[in-house]
Amino acid sequence: MLGDPIVIQSLTKDFNGFRAVDDLSLTVRQGSFLGFLGPNGAGKTTTIKILTNLLSASGGSASLNGIDVVQHPKEALAQVGAVVETPEFYPYLTPNETLAYLGEIRGMSKEDISRRTKVVLETVKMTEWADKRIGKFSKGMKQRVAIAQAMLHEPSVIILDEPTSGLDPRGMYEVREILSELKKQDYTIFMSSHLLNEVQEVCSDVALINRGRLLKTGSVEELLEQASVKRIEVRTIQQMSGELLNSISKIEGVQELRASGENQFMFSLTGKDQEQAQMLLRLQSLGLNVVSYKESGLALESLYMSLIKDSR
Ligand SMILES: Nc1ncnc2c1ncn2[C@@H]1O[C@H](COP(=O)(O)OP(=O)(O)OP(=O)(O)O)[C@@H](O)[C@H]1O
Ligand SMILES: [Mg+2]
């Protein structure tokens, strides 16, 4: 079928006069892993529900593999696997039974069901739990079963709404490992998240949204390059006193300064390598003995925060 895997055009959703999604247009290219990133209430779940035909749009359109979701929902969603909101499974069924039941509903043959069940449970590392009742599973394990069911019918597109939401650090780690595994396979993945580090870690592309509007889109790499606000961490021989911090804060270009240890401080800097090199000289001319001076990995975070701030 011709057409990009996911195409969203001028999508709008109003809830009693409140615009949750506002003229959103976005194309997800074949084989990419898009992080649909935005803070709480940005409109992520609403967009995903429209994409999966759980909710109707007020305006605009969405198509999957070139097929309009509203006009031909069955065909459009045949090649899609989704996890929207915390899935509820029958607690007295096992993963094997659950997948058999879901496979049947989706019209899969018995052979396909048993072949795919093995593969997908392997992918989400739930093979040894295949015959245990889901009712006893942790939230993280249930989420892994949910991801398994999304892959069951060999879809080309996978849509996930905040798959690590509500999980403890270990559960998050395990789900992210699975996401990284999915990335290596041929799927096109659309995943919402409000966690920038998660998107940075597992996604190839990112679309930033806030208040229902698209703020920025591109590859994670491109965005990192464009992120002109950098977070710099400096370690010095000197101890950080209030007095010293005060004089550092007066240096031109130093923003959002704070001490981050006895001999350490962090600040934001707008600019590229040139400005960054200049800043080191300025710090040294204050008499600081700089032991290390490095960009912390939060560049995209700063960009994210400044984009969100500007869109208010
Ligand atoms: N059924 C509804 N009726 C009225 N308002 C709604 C409804 N569903 C969502 N909204 C509102 O639309 C906005 C977007 O909600 P949505 O759930 O899409 O955000 P989100 O990006 O998924 O947020 P979160 O990160 O909290 O899951 C919010 O302000 C929300 O209160
Ligand atoms: Mg949501």
The low-confidence residues of the chain, meaning pLDDT below 70, are 1-2, 86, 227-228, 297-300, 302, 312
Distance CA 296, CA 41 (A): 28
* 173 and 248 fall within a common domain: no
44 lines ligand 1 (CB under 6 A): yes
Enumerate residues with CB within 5 Å of ligand 2 (an ion).
Answer: 44-45
pLDDT at 310: 74
Residue 174 makes CB contacts below 8 A (sequence gap 6+) with: 125, 140, 144
Residue 230 makes CB contacts below 8 A (sequence gap 6+) with: 268, 269, 270, 271, 276, 295, 299, 302
pLDDT at 298: 58
* 177 and 202 fall within a common domain: yes
13 lines ligand 1 (CB under 6 A): no
Q: Which of 173, 194, 218 is the last residue of a domain?
A: 218
Looking at ligand 1, which residue's alpha carbon is closest to its atom 26? 40
38 lines ligand 1 (CB under 6 A): yes
The ligand 1 atom nearest the CA atom of 55: 1
Q: Which of 195, 218, 241 is the last residue of a domain?
A: 218
* 87 and 162 fall within a common domain: yes
pLDDT at 243: 93
Copy the structure tokens of residue 256. 């959002």
Pocket test for ligand 1, best of 11, 46, 58, 196 (most atoms within 8 A of CB): 46
Structural domain range at position 272: 227-310
* Interstrand relation of 213-219 and 290-295 (parallel, antiparallel or unpaired): unpaired
CB 311 within 8 A of CB 210: yes
Determine, yes or no, domain membership for 1.
no
194 lines ligand 1 (CB under 6 A): yes
Q: Return the CATH number at 296.
A: 3.30.70.100
Number of domains making up the chain: 2
Alpha helices in the chain (DSSP H): 44-51, 73-78, 95-105, 110-123, 139-151, 169-184, 196-202, 220-226, 242-249, 273-285, 299-310
pLDDT at 88: 84
Determine, yes or no, domain membership for 200.
yes
pLDDT at 312: 66
The ligand 1 atom nearest the CA atom of 48: 18
